[in-house]
Chains A and B, each alone.
Chain A
Amino acid sequence: QVQLMESGGGVVQPGRSLRLSCVVSGFSFSRYSMHWVRQTPDKGLEWVAVISIDGSIKYYADSVKGRITVSRDNSKNTLYLQMNSLRAEDTALYYCVRDLEGGGWTWAFDYWGQGTLVTVSS
């Protein structure tokens, strides 16, 4: 069955960096675009970034542009989110999410991981 397992979250000071990972199984990772979505009680669900199947195309939310980089290693079935210059407002549960459509993208989401919690605090 399809599984997505995030890791790398934790407590980090403002201005520091963190790298999240998402290891997937149960499907052909290299055929699917992948997303990161975050959630907070205050702001709800917020899409963060998407990466195409080969990693050549990436889009970001304005709130993270220039500070966060999405990448993938298809040989390792792993998605990454490199988060730099972290701010308090980056505090959230970060989900790794699969795009609905294999071979291309729709930007709808059919499978979600359980999430990894990032807390930015001094």
Chain B
Amino acid sequence: DIVMTQSPDSLAVSLGERATISCKSSQSVLYNSNNKNYLAWYQQKPGQPPKLLIYWASTRASGVPDRFSGSGSGTDFTLTINSLQAEDGAVYYCQQYDKIPITFGGGTRVEIK
């Protein structure tokens, strides 16, 4: 199985500042034939299901503000939240969808200072 490791487990960021979350996969999720990274990011707020933010490592899902961006390739990925807003306080998960079983990272809690 591909193991997804997120860091940090939690971070506190002031309003308007930048939050950066790392996700590393135990093997590459880059599919060479189409040059796509099979990596997604989700946001989950209390009492709600996860919400898709980013797929193909850097493509924002419909309706996601452009302060959210994804980057990286192969085994190392980053979710960046610029100009953090109060509503961005949540847990963020990365997910690989290159191979079955589909696997998630353990989550990173973003707290607004």
Contact = CB atoms under 8 A, between A and B. Distances in A.
Partners in one complex: yes
Interface of A: 35, 44-47, 50, 59, 61-62, 95, 100, 106-110, 112-115
Contact of A112 (B40, B49, B104, B107): B49
Interface of B is mostly: loop
Contact of A109 (B52, B101, B106, B107): B52
Interface residues of B, number: 20
Contacts of B69: none
Contacts of A100: 52, 55
A108 B95 contact: yes
Contacts of A61: 101
Given A45-B104, A47-B102, A108 B49 contact: no
A115 B42 CA distance: 16
Contacts of A109: 40, 42, 50, 52, 95
A47 B104 contact: yes
B101 A47 contact: yes
Given A100-B55, A107-B38, A45 B50 contact: yes
Interface string B13-38: 00000000000000000000000001
B101 A62 contact: yes
Given A95-B49, A113-B49, A115-B49, A106 B55 contact: yes
Interface in B70-101: 93, 95, 97, 100-101
Contacts of A113: 49
